[in-house]
Amino acid sequence: MKIGVLGAGQLGRMLAIAAYPLGHQMAFTANSEDEPSVLLGKAFISDGTQDSTEQLTSASEVITFESENTDVEIVKKISKKTPVYPGAKSLFTTQHRGREKAIFDNLGIPCAPYQMVNSLADLQTAVDAIGLPAILKTATEGYDGKGQFVIRSDDQLEKAWLSMHGVEAILEGFVNFKRELSLIAVRGIDNSHKYYPLVENTHHNGILRLTTAPAENISVKVQEQAEHYMQTLLDEMEHVGVLTIELFETSDGLVVNEMAPRVHNSGHWSIEGARTSQFENHVRAITGSPLGETACLQQYCAMINIIGEHGPVDKVLELGNAHLHLYGKSERKGRKLGHITITANTLSELNKALNALDAFMP
């Protein structure tokens, strides 16, 4: 099929790499020639003279997007002509933290206590109800920990509110978690579902640095609980494609933090680590093909993000069980430039490779 992607970053690039062996063609909307997906398909570059979204719609049989910040009205408009997966319902829900929390509440999925905040007075009311510590986050467009303020004492309220720059915000109670996990799943057009194993994520300065797959010591019950939450969300939003939920593991069980209606950085390990990668499964889902198996190929897998600078990438190539993925981006502080996957049959083999690559860790 002719697959169109709104956006041309590394997610689109990895979708294309997965789509070509299945015989598909790819097209993207891009802001410039330099974006990671541009060389991997037809690129409609926004140059102010032509409507690149319109061009993509005419050139595609099915459309998907790379970011939850995609304009819902545009998606509604183009889906009259060309199917867009995931649909507007998933996009509308997941681009606003308040709407996400409301759907978690409605479906009985545990999440942090929260209140929407539109003024300093609202913030005071929310803090009185939720208590401290708490986290104030922008309701939309936050990523990699941006647009967040951890409030520990009452005298920080004004500073926290000012840091939101007047936009709608949400106050969340602070969750005392043991570790952060994520679950990636895919739903087909025919309502079939596949789930990857829960993985463990380590962040630094709000940016994902390391994913280990599967997460260690996850009982069957916990995996099933996470899959149950996921299934109710997939079905409620009539989601087609990959959906990711980020969770906190606490002593009282799983608490859902947020979700993303797309392939996710914490699923990059699946390219070499699973029978079918998240990218291939997303492509299969949106093209109406049977979904692929999600089981791990080896006992242990880890994914290290390459952030800000490329570093000693030859070290990766020297290892027998590591794979390098560079996205073709220039170096900039905090920027995701690539990732490394390590696969191993034993924990010591995994740790040996992680130690050899410690230059990539913060």
Q: Which of 12, 87, 142, 261 binds ligand AMP (CB under 6 A)?
A: 142
* SS3 label, residue 179: strand
- Nearest CB to ligand AMP, comparing residues 9 and 147: 147
Nearer CB in complex with ligand AMP: 42/209: 209
Site string for ligand AMP, 213-232 (x = CB under 6 A): --------------------
Residues 6+ apart with CB under 8 A from 157: 120, 123, 124, 127, 151
Query: Closest Cα partner for 86 from 325, 264, 271?
Result: 264
Instruction: Tell whether residue 96 is a contact of ligand AMP (CB under 6 A).
Output: no
Q: Which is nearer to ligand AMP, 206 or 362 (CB)?
A: 206
Please identify, using beta-carbon distances, which residue of 61 and 128 lies nearer to ligand AMP: 128
Interacting stretch for ligand AMP, rule CB under 6 A, among 78-86, 173-181, 313-321, 322-330? 173-181
Sequence-distant (6+) residues with CB within 8 A of 301 are 212, 213, 214, 269, 272, 273, 341, 342, 343, 344, 350
CA nearest to 139, candidates 115, 158, 159, 111:
115
User: CA 252: distance to chain centroid?
Assistant: 25
- Reduced to 3 states (helix: H, G, I; strand: E, B; else coil), residue 175 is coil
The residue number whose beta carbon is nearest to ligand AMP equals 175
- Decide: 263 and 14 in contact? Cβ < 8 Å: yes
257 binds ligand AMP (CB under 6 A): yes
Helix (H) or strand (E) holding 13: helix 10-19
Complex with ligand AMP: residue 200 or 280, whichever CB lies closer: 200
Binding mask 143-172 for ligand AMP (x = CB under 6 A): --x--------------------------x
Question: Contact between 68 and ligand AMP (CB under 6 A)?
Answer: no
For ligand AMP, the closer CB: 66 or 258: 258
Write down the least CB distance from residue 111 to ligand AMP, Å: 8
Nearer to ligand AMP, 213 or 260 (CB): 260
Q: Does residue number 175 form part of the binding site for ligand AMP (CB under 6 A)?
A: yes
HSE-up (13 A, CA, CB side) for residue 57: 16
User: What does the alpha-carbon distance between residue 18 and residue 28 come to, in Å, rounded to a whole number?
Assistant: 15
Q: Does 184 bind ligand AMP (CB under 6 A)?
A: no
Give the three-class secondary structure for 1: coil
Distance in angstroms (rounded) separating the CA atoms of residues 132 and 345: 44
- In the stretch 104-133, what mask flags binding to ligand AMP with x, by CB under 6 A? --------x---------------------
133 neighbors 112 (Cβ within 8 angstroms) = no
Show the tokens assigned to 337: 């430039």
- Residues of the shown chain interacting with ligand AMP in the complex, contacts defined by CB under 6 A: 112, 135, 142, 145, 172, 174-175, 180, 203, 206, 246, 257-258
